[in-house]
Amino acid sequence: MSDATAQVRKRLTEIGGRTAQDLGLGRIVGQILVHLYLTPNEESLEDIAKELELSKAAISIAARQLESLGLLRRSWKSGDRKTYYRTADDIATALHQGLLIMVRNKMSLLATELQAAESELNTADVGAEEEFILGRVKRAKKLRDTAMAVLENPLVKLLTRMK
């Protein structure tokens, strides 16, 4: 592998790290994923640790997290006690679905809270301030509903169809 190529890979790996961190998944997770995505053959924990200059322990934890997200696959070789990792074959769809699920989870949590708030406000004795807050909560609910609708319809259909 040429020197320039190695540098390109390193750079993309860093970007993966930053992105993953933005999503709250931790830097290492993103680094591993991109690194393996740009690697033809599978690699052991130690391989990855050496390439990314991180401890084997850190790799172990992050790799398992990636596996549970369906983004990495484990494999073994006969007469070799190491575990090897490679990116999942359907990594693109897995990523998209994962992101959608994350967003949807946050959204539905918000939905529940807003609904609960509205109910409680309705049972309380309704003064002027309650009236105001209730109005605001209702506006927020409406906002969330349309956002949700947008998210559900065209996005899912377009994105999950990709290969």
Partner DNA sequence: TTTTGCGTTAACAGTTTTGTAAACGCTCAT
Partner DNA sequence: ATGAGCGTTTACAAAACTGTTAACGCAAAA
Q: 121 near 135, Cβ under 8 Å?
A: no
User: What residue has token string 């693109």?
Assistant: 92
- For position 46 contacting a copy of itself by CB under 8 A, the verdict is no
- For position 18 contacting DNA by CB under 7 A, the verdict is no
As given in the structure block, the two tokens for residue 146 are 């349309």
90, 101, 143, 160: residue in contact with a copy of itself (rule CB under 8 A)? 143
12, 38, 54, 121: residue in contact with DNA (rule CB under 7 A)? 54
Partner whose binding site includes residue 82, from DNA, a copy of itself, none (CB under 5 to 8 Å by kind): DNA
Q: Which residues pair with 84 in a beta bridge?
A: 44, 75
- For position 2 contacting a copy of itself by CB under 8 A, the verdict is yes
Strand arrangement of the beta sheet that strand 72-77 belongs to: 43-44, 80-87, 72-77
**Alpha helix (H) ranges present in the chain?**
3-22, 27-37, 45-52, 56-68, 91-123, 128-150, 156-159
1, 53, 75, 81: residue in contact with a copy of itself (rule CB under 8 A)? 1
Q: Which residues pair with 74 in a beta bridge?
A: 85
Q: Which residues bind a copy of itself (CB under 8 A)?
A: 1-2, 4-5, 7-9, 11-12, 15, 19, 22, 24, 37-38, 40, 92, 96, 106, 110, 113-114, 117, 120-121, 123-125, 127, 129-130, 132-133, 136-137, 139-140, 143, 146-147, 150, 153-155, 158-159, 162
